[in-house]
Amino acid sequence: AQKVTQAQTEISVVEKEDVTLDCVYETRDTTYYLFWYKQPPSGELVFLIRRNSFDEQNEISGRYSWNFQKSTSSFNFTITASQVVDSAVYFCALSEALNTGFQKLVFGTGTRLLVSP
Amino acid sequence: DAGVIQSPRHEVTEMGQEVTLRCKPISGHDYLFWYRQTMMRGLELLIYFNNNVPIDDSGMPEDRFSAKMPNASFSTLKIQPSEPRDSAVYFCASSPSSSSGGKSDEQFFGPGTRLTVL
């Protein structure tokens, strides 16, 4: 069965520090997708990125970057020059193909990031 | 472009009462999902619909939970009777299908309903 592990329960940094959130996954599927979602204190889940298992290129979006390494089954997320507004719980997720054809999302337990001024 | 809409945002009820949570998915999305988030179990998929038809309800915890989708723009999750252990945040999400040019696993979440059962 698919599994997503976010070993870091909580990380505290000071503003402007770089921080990396780890995500390790397990799957038997050859084609799968990986996601990161952000859940700020207001509670909603905000989609950040979707990555296809065939695309191992790292991606950068502003201060956010993602490092996908199939060899280690990891999909880590780095925030450069963190800001207080980055404080949130971040979830990594993996799609699981069901026999209905639907891709079910399996979520990790989340990493709470606290950025202090 | 409105996102997924959920109501109410907060619900406090007493044990034994019926609770109905509502969701309006993004227009044009073929899939609708109900999730529950608790500290103990994290985010769990309860049930999902495709074109208004329930496909997989294996995540529904008990018979006290039921979900309906009478049309493409509305779904309900009902708990009857409610119990204190049902206290959680319930999310509704929707996604387009690949046949409509979307990515069927790119799910867009609503703001959630925080349910407290006393």
Q: Which of A43, A47, A103 sits opposite B108 (nearest CB)?
A: A47
Residues in B closer than 8 angstroms to A111, CB to CB, are none
Mean pLDDT of B5-25: 97
- Does residue B98 carry a pLDDT above 80? no
Q: Which of A43, A100, A107 sits opposite B43 (nearest CB)?
A: A107
- Does residue B104 carry a pLDDT above 70? no
Residues of A with CB under 8 A from a CB of B: 33, 35, 37, 42-47, 50, 91, 95, 98, 100, 102-105, 107-110
pLDDT band at B100 (very low <50, low <70, confident <90, very high): low
Closest among A83, A41, A39, A42 to A64, alpha carbons compared: A83
Q: For A46-97, how does the pLDDT look when each residue is reduced to its tens digit (9 = 90+)?
A: 989 988 888 888 888 899 999 999 999 999 999 999 999 999 999 999 987 6
Q: Which of A42, A47, A109 sits opposite B106 (nearest CB)?
A: A47
Residues in A closer than 8 angstroms to B42, CB to CB, are 107-110
HEC assignment per residue over A94-115: EEEECCCCCEEEEECCCEEEEE
Mean pLDDT rounded to a whole number for chain B: 90
pLDDT for the residue numbered B13: 96
**Is beta strand A111-116 parallel, antiparallel or unpaired with respect to A10-14?**
parallel
Q: Calculate the alpha carbon distances from A67 to A94, A102, A116, B15, B82 in Å.
A: 15, 26, 25, 46, 43
Check if the beta carbon of residue A77 is closer than 8 Å to that of residue A23: yes
- Neighbour count for residue A11 (Cβ, 10 Å): 17
- Neighbour count for residue A105 (Cβ, 10 Å): 23
CB-side exposure of B96: number of CA atoms within 13 Å? 9
Could you tell me the two tokens for B24? Answer: 């309006």
Q: Write down the number of H helices and E strands in chain A.
A: 0, 12
- Does residue B102 carry a pLDDT above 60? no
Is the minimum CB–CB distance between B5 and chain A shorter than 8 Å? no
Quote the CA–CA distance of B100 and B46 in Å, as a whole number. Answer: 25
The runs of H, that is alpha helices, within chain B are none
- Does residue B84 carry a pLDDT above 70? yes
Residues in A closer than 8 angstroms to B30, CB to CB, are none
Q: Which of B89, B105, B110 sits opposite A105 (nearest CB)?
A: B105
pLDDT for the residue numbered A59: 84
The percent helix, strand, coil of chain A (3-state, each to 5) is 5, 55, 40
